[in-house]
Structure formats: structure tokens, C-alpha cells
Amino acid sequence: MLAVLFICGGLVAIYLLLCVTVLKIPKCKSTAKLHGKTVIVTGANTGIGKVTALDLARRGARVILACRNESKGLAAATDIKRETGNNDVFYMHLDLASLQSVRSFADNFLKKESRLDILINNAGLLAGGKTEDGFGMIFGVNHLGHFLLTLLLLDRLKESGPSRVVTVASLAHLWGNVDFNCINTHKDLGLGNSSMVLLKLYGHSKLCNMLFTHELAKRLKGTNVTCYSLHPGAIKTDINNNCSLFWRLIMIPAMFLFYTDVQSGAQTSLYCALQEGLEPLSGCYFSQCDVGKVPAKARDDAVAKKLWEVSESLCGLA
């Protein structure tokens, strides 16, 4: 009995140590004010995106909540206005699973807004199925939608500089790869719809996010626009809502024990968007409000360039 208590005590001590070290995400300490600045946050009606938008609105920014669900987007805008006292917070419809919706959003934004200082590509999902254009859902939303959105808004970002593009990637990139044969043949990053396959596809899409940022930084050299990708941490969000019941039952205890809150999850996004002096680090990957280590596959020039060219073709830009 004493041995069992000793083991349990040791496990609790290890867990508490993890909570204050590995699982603890530093807070963004920037005091930057954003009066006169305009920001877009995709997927800002919930989770990390909403907290990010709330912080930026509190700093005085004009914030566009780019969301698919109108009722949730409008409700989030109302919440943020009430909490911050900033009335320059607006919902605009954006469905990243439709390239036409992405184009319509960009067109409407460019007609209505004279500047864009920060674009935060935050939205992401872990779900099967196909997009409106026949792409794998994860590939289409997590990568292609944001790819097209960024390119359509790039001139406005350049006009408003210094400006930044922040893309929320994930540590999941570590198990990701890019299979161009599968993309060309099936318009997807892989095949299958099981929970484990979807998790792999998610990792592939997050590697795409990082390769996109790597290539974007190279193409932005000499401009006043910089870009960054990041891992938000293991965060309790609703990203698993579209997964199977079996997968959610597996994830619930893990999320309870090892995942942290959305306020913590927004900190590295805010750091990349606001921290002074990051310009020389354009194209880098961040974790816990600091530059993170990147495997060779996430900074492969040839793969990044090919992914860019393939993405241009798939989005009808080439």
C-alpha cells in the first residue's frame, strides 16, 4: 500500500512539474497599441481566434472576424465589443472550404477597408470530407484557403506596411509530409477518413503551413511585410468536434490532464503579431513566444517552392 501511495505521489509530482514547465505557455508581454491599425483573424468566433481578436481589439485595432458561421461570428463581435469597449469589431463571412468564398471575402474587404496591418491565419479543422472545390477538407481549409486569402490580400498588406502575416501551424508538423502525387491524383494530402488518418492529414496540413510561410518570407524579401508560423501549444479547443465519438472519448482525458486554456493558446499568435524586432526572423517558426526548432523538411526550399506552385495552380492563380 505504501509503495502504491509513493508511486501515485511521484506521478502527481511529475504532472505538477509538467504543468509549470513544459505545459506552461509564457504570456505575450508586448505593450503595443493598435489604434488606426486593421487586423483580420480567421476563425475568430471561438477558441484561440476569439481570444486573439479580443486582445487586439483591446489594444485599439479595427478587427475583422473572418468566420464561416454568421450567427457565431456576429455573437463573437458583440462579445468583444462589450468586453473591450471597442466598436470597430466586425464580422465578415469567410468559408475557407470554398475558394469562391475566399475570393468574395477578399473582394469585399478590399472595397471596404483602406488598410491591412496584420493578417492572422488562425482557422483550422480536423475533419473528413471534401471542400466545395473537391479538395480534401483538411487540405482545403487549413492550407489552400489561407494560401489564396493571403495572396489576394498581399498588395494591401504591402501598402499598409510594416505589416505581418501570422499563420497558426502546429507541433503536428513533425509527423507531416507532402505527397505531391496524392495531391495531383486525389486533390488531397492522403487517403482515408479514420480518426488516425485524419490526424495524419492534419499533420500534413500543418507542415504545409510552415512550408508556405518559409516560401512566403523568401518572396517578401525587400518589402515591408514579414511572416511567421507558430505552434500555439496543446490547447483545449473545439477542433475535435468533427471527429468520431471514439476519438473524442480518447482525447477527453488527455485534454483534461495535458491541455491548457485558449487564453494561453493565443499568446504565441499575439507575440508574432505584436512583438517588436521580429522582422529579421521573417519565415521562422515560433513556440512558447520564442523561436522554435524546425526539422529540415519544414525548411526544404525545393519542396516549399513546389508546394507554392502547385497551390497556385489548384487555386486558379497560375
Residues 88-134: tens digit of each pLDDT? 999 999 999 999 999 999 999 999 999 999 999 999 999 999 999 99
Reported confidence tier of residue 238, pLDDT bands at 50, 70, 90: low
Domain that holds residue 289: 31-314
Reported confidence tier of residue 261, pLDDT bands at 50, 70, 90: confident
Q: What percent of the chain has pLDDT over 90?
A: 80
Residues 61-73: tens digit of each pLDDT: 999 999 999 999 9
Quick one: pLDDT at residue 233? 79
DSSP 159-192: HT-SEEEEEE--GGGGG----HHHHHHHSSSS--
Residues 146-169: tens digit of each pLDDT: 999 999 999 999 999 999 999 999
Query: Residue 222 burial (CB < 10 Å; 0-12/13-18/19+)?
Result: exposed
Domains in the chain, number:
1
Average pLDDT over residues 223-244: 74
Decide if 112 is inside a domain.
Answer: yes
Q: Are 264 and 233 in contact (CB under 8 A)?
A: yes
Quick one: pLDDT at residue 54? 98
Decide if 123 is inside a domain.
Answer: yes
Task: Order across the sheet with 62-67: list the strands.
Answer: 89-93, 62-67, 38-42, 118-121, 163-168, 225-231, 285-287, 290-291
Average pLDDT over residues 227-240: 73
Whether the pLDDT of residue 239 is over 70: the answer is no
DSSP the chain: -HHHHHHHHHHHHHHHHHHHTTTPPPPP------TT-EEEEETTTSHHHHHHHHHHHHTT-EEEEEES-HHHHHHHHHHHHHHH----EEEEE--TT-HHHHHHHHHHHHHH-S---EEEE-------SB-TTSSBHHIIIIIIIHHHHHHHHHHHHHHT-SEEEEEE--GGGGG----HHHHHHHSSSS---SHHHHHHHHHHHHHHHHHHHHHHHHHTTTSSEEEEEEE--SB--SGGGGS-HHHHHHHHHHHHHH-B-HHHHTHHHHHHHH-TT-GGGTT-EEETTEEPP--GGGG-HHHHHHHHHHHHHHTT--
Quick one: pLDDT at residue 245? 56
C-alpha cell, 65: 472576424
| Angstrom distance (rounded) from CA 177 to CA 204 | 5
Q: What percent of the chain has pLDDT over 70?
A: 84
Reported confidence tier of residue 9, pLDDT bands at 50, 70, 90: very low
Decide if 7 is inside a domain.
Answer: no
Mean pLDDT of the chain: 89
CATH number of the structural domain spanning residue 151: 3.40.50.720
Could you tell me the CA-to-CA distances from 57 to 39, 101, 277, 301 in Å, in that order? 9, 25, 22, 36
| Angstrom distance (rounded) from CA 67 to CA 164 | 20
Decide if 17 is inside a domain.
Answer: no
Quick one: pLDDT at residue 2? 58
Decide if 18 is inside a domain.
Answer: no
Decide if 23 is inside a domain.
Answer: no
Reported confidence tier of residue 264, pLDDT bands at 50, 70, 90: confident
Average pLDDT over residues 291-312: 97
**Residue 13 CA neighbour count, 13 Å, CB half:** 6
Decide if 172 is inside a domain.
Answer: yes
Whether the pLDDT of residue 213 is over 70: the answer is yes
Average pLDDT over residues 216-229: 97
Quick one: pLDDT at residue 17? 43
Decide if 6 is inside a domain.
Answer: no
Residues involved in catalysis:
202
Whether the pLDDT of residue 176 is over 90: the answer is yes
Residues 33-68: tens digit of each pLDDT: 999 999 999 999 999 999 999 999 999 999 999 999
